[in-house]
Chains A and B, each alone.
Chain A
C-alpha cells in the first residue's frame, strides 16, 4: 500500500470510479450542448441564454461543473505524479510538484466559483 495525501479520495479505486463517472457526465453534457446547436441553427445570444434559464439545465450545468473539477484534479494530479518525480527532477521534485498541484487547485477553484456565478448569479 502506497500512502499519499494529495489524491482526491486517497484510494486508487475511488479516484478511478470518480474519473469514469465524471467522464460520462461530461460526455452527456457535451452531447446536450451539441444537440442545442443542431436544433438551433440560427443560434444567437438570446437563444443561448434561454437554454440556461431553466432550473433543470442549471442543475445539469452545476453537476457537470463539479464533475469537471473532480476529473481535472484527478487527471492533473496523475500527470504531476507521473512526470514530476525525483527521477526526472531530482531532489527539488517535491517542491515543483506541490507548487504545480497548488496551481491546479487554485485554477480549478476559480473555474468552479466563476462557473457557479455564471449559472446561478444575476
Chain B
C-alpha cells in the first residue's frame, strides 16, 4: 500500500511536503492506521508522530486520515481507504505544526482551561464523598468520555476562524459535563463566563465535531443544552 505522509521539519525544510512510502501489508489482516504508520516508520525512522496507548484511550494519535480527523490506533485501514487506494496522513488541521504529524495543542488546552474543568462546590465537604443519585450520574453519560484528542475542534470551521475566542466542541462538551453535574454549585458563574458572542455562540451547528468524534460523542447537543441554560438564566 502506498502511504503518503505530511512531512515538515521547521529546522531543515522551507515548506511542508508529502512523502510517499510503499508499505507491504499482510493480506489476512485489517490493520489499524497506526500499525501502517509504524511500518512506514520502519522504512523511514525520521517520521514523527505522537502515540501511546494504541487503543483509543489516550487521544495522542489524532490526525487527519484521508481527509477525516480520527485516531490512527482505532481507525481500520478498510474504513479509511478504498481498496487499491492510497493512505494520506496529515496533521490535525488548524493547529501549528511542530514537526510532521505533531501539532502544537497549546491553544486547544487554553480553551479547555477556560471552562474550569473541575468540580466547584463551596459547601462543606462531607466525611467521605459527595453522593450522587444514579439518575444524576446518568446525566454525565456521553460527556465524561471525552479524551481530549482534539479531532473535533480541529475539524470545526468556527475553531479554525477564531481559535483564540471560540472554546470549541471539546471544551464545550466538558463545560456542559460540569454544568450537568448535580454536585457542582457554580452554574451561575460558569454560564456568566460563556455568555459572550464567541465562547459558545460561534457554534453554527455544522456538526463536523459529531461526524469525527472517535468516541461517538455529540458536542453539538451539549452546546444546545448550554444555550438552553443560558436562555433560562438570561430571560
Contact = CB atoms under 8 A, between A and B. Distances in A.
Nearest to A83: B161
A13 B231 contact: yes
Interface in B188-235: 192-202, 227, 230-231, 234-235
Nearest to B166: A2
A87 interface: yes
Interface in B162-201: 162-163, 165, 192-201
Interface in A1-19: 1-4, 7, 10-17
A82 to B, nearest CB: 5
B195 A17 contact: no
Given A1-B199, A2-B196, A4-B197, A13 B234 contact: yes
A54 B79 CA distance: 64
Interface string B139-181: 0000000000000000000100111010000000000000000
A73 to B, nearest CB: 12
B199 A2 contact: yes
A11 B196 contact: yes
A101 to B, nearest CB: 13
A106 B192 CA distance: 32
Contact of B161 (A3, A16, A82): A82
Contact residues of A: prevailing secondary structure: helix
Contact of A12 (B161, B201, B235): B201
A15 B161 CA distance: 19
A61 interface: no
B197 A7 contact: yes
Contact of B235 (A2, A3, A17, A83): A17
Contacts of B158: 82
A10 B203 CA distance: 17
A93 B161 CA distance: 13
A4 B201 CA distance: 14
Nearest to B94: A87
Nearest to A11: B195
B200 A12 contact: yes
B202 to A, nearest CB: 8
B162 A12 contact: no
Contacts of A82: 158, 161-162, 202
A81 B201 contact: no
Contacts of A11: 195-197, 234
Contacts of A7: 197
Given A82-B162, A87-B161, A17 B196 contact: no
11 contacts: A2-B198, A7-B197, A10-B196, A11-B196, A11-B234, A12-B195, A16-B201, A81-B162, A82-B158, A82-B161, A87-B163
Interface of A: 1-4, 7, 10-17, 78, 81-83, 85, 87
Given A1-B193, A2-B197, A12-B195, 11 more contacts: A1-B199, A2-B165, A2-B196, A4-B197, A10-B196, A12-B194, A12-B201, A13-B227, A13-B230, A16-B227, A87-B161
5 A-B pairs with least C-beta separation: A12-B201, A2-B198, A12-B197, A82-B161, A2-B196
Interface of B: 158, 161-163, 165, 192-202, 227, 230-231, 234-235
